């Protein structure tokens, strides 16, 4: 096989990043956008000894899993979606299989156990009139740049690069994004506001962040700039506030030469510095810098599952010998702005939340206050430091007695939990551990540790928070083995 060869391949498998996999004379090819069952014509782009990468040139025979036409014309070029050309049902099957495969291979969870405990993936309802869910994201960050003709453009990065694919109407986002971007771009043209040039580290406007409260319909616009202010920003604010629902217009100052989008300083130019939204009946104030789940509809389903797996209602019936109800003590590690903590607090005796970002903890405390939730306390720090320290200090202060928790919930970033944390969790002997994960490979690794240290999986369920991408969330409920 040589570079630039054109081959015919049948796609037989799918890789973890959604790429199609096929073989030509025993030589494995990875073909982006190829779907299992397709017969395609592909051009070899890069060859290694045992495998190569090819570009899909033409679909000769489409798979049954392939949609006729992707809804977004940019679907193949843009780095945002990886599976848009696959039928939604097949996307869900792929995600469920990926979670299951990782749990078996990396986590060494027996297949028979998974057959018993794994529930079907929770998919999202289709958008009316379409055959898959779209417009589910409440947040979008559009890079601003210049095209070859010198026009100001907003859009998304092409896969693995920083070249901007102009697209103000992403089908995963809300439709108001387009009105906002058009308004910003017109304003920039009219007042000759420079775009930021990443390579030269010059110019002003880097990104536009938009957030939308699905329940409240409140809108936030934040311009990320390489400077202190935007010339004539009052005119921009005057125009943007005419968009119904506009609640917050801010600037984020980012003068660093970095890939990190947001700067740490936020300046208010109109309205208030946050928007409010609900998940279930809990209200959250969201500022430009705080982490907030991007798909509120699926998040509610995910949190309800976490709550169910935590088994908190079991305790409501649990009356102690003295006739006093024992309300459970719950830890929520990696709590962000307290989203899961406040959900749990409605059923728990006491909730302790731990999170590394100080601003998020400020938000968490505030969110507890505005919901009149008084049984949640929050700590800033690394989960793998805060919990072990709490455990040690408790023993010192209580004559060697062990700190106990009834339920521990974790929702770590992609890299999963550190072993020191998992060990302390096990030492605290909670009746249940609920693990919410956005990366099933690290989830599986951590499952191996927890299963080897006295816990067994009771229930597992993937939740599709990100239709058309390869990502999936997963929640696992574990129970302590009483030996
Ligand atoms: N449970 C929250 C947030 C989950 S995202 C929600 O559902 O909204 C993961 C969170 O972990 C982020 O807020 C991130 O800032 C935080 N984080 C990352 N590393 C951490 C660590 N070592 N200790 C505690 N929190 C951490």
pTM for the model: 0.91
Cα–Cα distance measured from residue 121 to residue 106, given in angstroms and rounded to the nearest whole number = 20
Q: How many CB atoms are located within 10 Å of the residue 244 CB? A: 9
For ligand 1, the distance from its centroid to the CA atom of residue 412, given in whole angstroms, is: 5
Q: 291, 300, 344, 381: which to mutate for ligand 1, most atoms within 8 A of CB? A: 291
pLDDT band at residue 317, thresholds of 50, 70 and 90?
low
Q: Which residues, 6+ apart, have CB-to-CB distance to 71 below 8 Å?
A: 84, 130, 132, 134, 171
Phi, psi of 350 (to 5 degrees): -145, 135
* pLDDT one-digit tens code per residue, 170-215: 999 999 999 999 999 999 999 999 999 999 999 999 999 999 999 9
Cα–Cα distance measured from residue 469 to residue 84, given in angstroms and rounded to the nearest whole number = 7
For ligand 1, the distance from its centroid to the CA atom of residue 52, given in whole angstroms, is: 37
Range with the lowest mean pLDDT among 127-141, 151-165, 334-348? 151-165
pLDDT, mean of residues 379-383: 98
Q: How many CB atoms are located within 10 Å of the residue 106 CB? A: 17
Higher pLDDT, 161 or 137: 137
Q: 304, 336, 415, 463: which to mutate for ligand 1, most atoms within 8 A of CB? A: 336
Structure tokens at 50: 């045992």
Bridge-based pairing state of the strands 118-122 and 246-253: unpaired
Q: Is 296 near ligand 1, meaning CB less than 6 Å away? A: no
Cα–Cα distance measured from residue 368 to residue 364, given in angstroms and rounded to the nearest whole number = 6
């Amino acid at each position: 096989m040589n570079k630039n060869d054109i081959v015919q391949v049948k796609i037989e498998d799918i890789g973890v990043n959604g790429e199609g996999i096929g073989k030509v004379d025993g030589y494995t090819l990875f073909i982006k956008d190829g779907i299992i069952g397709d017969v395609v014509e592909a051009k070899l782009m890069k060859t290694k000894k045992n495998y190569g990468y090819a570009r899909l040139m033409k679909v000769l025979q489409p798979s049954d899993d392939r949609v006729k036409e992707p809804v977004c014309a940019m679907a193949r070029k843009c780095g945002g979606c990886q599976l848009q050309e696959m039928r939604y049902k097949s996307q869900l099957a792929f995600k469920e299989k990926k979670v299951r495969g990782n749990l078996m291979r990396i986590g060494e969870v027996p297949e028979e156990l998974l057959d018993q405990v794994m529930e079907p993936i929770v998919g999202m309802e289709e958008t009316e009139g379409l055959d898959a869910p779209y417009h589910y994201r409440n947040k979008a960050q559009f890079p601003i740049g210049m095209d070859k003709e010198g026009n100001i453009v907003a859009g998304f990065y092409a896969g693995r690069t920083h070249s901007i694919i102009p697209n103000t109407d992403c089908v995963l986002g809300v439709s108001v994004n387009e009105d906002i971007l058009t308004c910003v771009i017109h304003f920039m043209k009219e007042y000759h506001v420079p775009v930021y040039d990443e390579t030269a580290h010059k110019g002003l406007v880097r990104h536009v962040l938009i957030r939308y409260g699905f329940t409240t319909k409140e809108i936030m616009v934040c311009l990320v700039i390489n400077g202190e202010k935007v010339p004539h920003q009052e005119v921009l604010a005057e125009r943007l506030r005419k968009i119904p629902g506009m609640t917050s217009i801010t600037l984020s100052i980012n003068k660093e030469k970095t890939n990190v989008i947001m700067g740490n300083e936020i300046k208010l130019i109109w309205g208030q510095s946050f928007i409010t939204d609900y998940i279930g009946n809990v209200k959250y104030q969201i500022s430009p810098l705080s982490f907030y789940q991007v798909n509120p509809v699926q998040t509610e389903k995910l949190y309800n599952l976490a709550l169910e797996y935590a088994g908190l209602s079991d305790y409501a019936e649990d009356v102690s010998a003295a006739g006093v109800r024992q309300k459970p003590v719950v830890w929520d590690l990696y709590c962000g702005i307290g989203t899961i903590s406040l959900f749990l607090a409605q059923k728990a005796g006491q909730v302790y939340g731990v999170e590394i970002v100080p601003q998020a903890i400020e938000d968490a405390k505030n969110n507890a206050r505005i919901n009149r939730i008084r049984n949640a306390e929050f700590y800033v720090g690394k989960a793998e430091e805060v919990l072990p320290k709490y455990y040690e200090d408790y023993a010192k202060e209580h004559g060697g007695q062990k700190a106990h928790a009834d339920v521990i919930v974790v929702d770590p970033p992609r890299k999963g939990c550190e072993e020191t944390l998992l060990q302390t969790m096990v030492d605290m002997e909670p009746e249940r551990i609920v693990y919410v994960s956005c990366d099933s490979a690290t989830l599986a690794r951590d499952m191996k540790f927890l299963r080897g240290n006295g816990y067994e999986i009771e229930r597992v369920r993937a939740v599709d928070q990100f239709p058309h991408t390869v990502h999936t969330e997963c929640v696992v409920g574990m129970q302590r083995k009483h030996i």
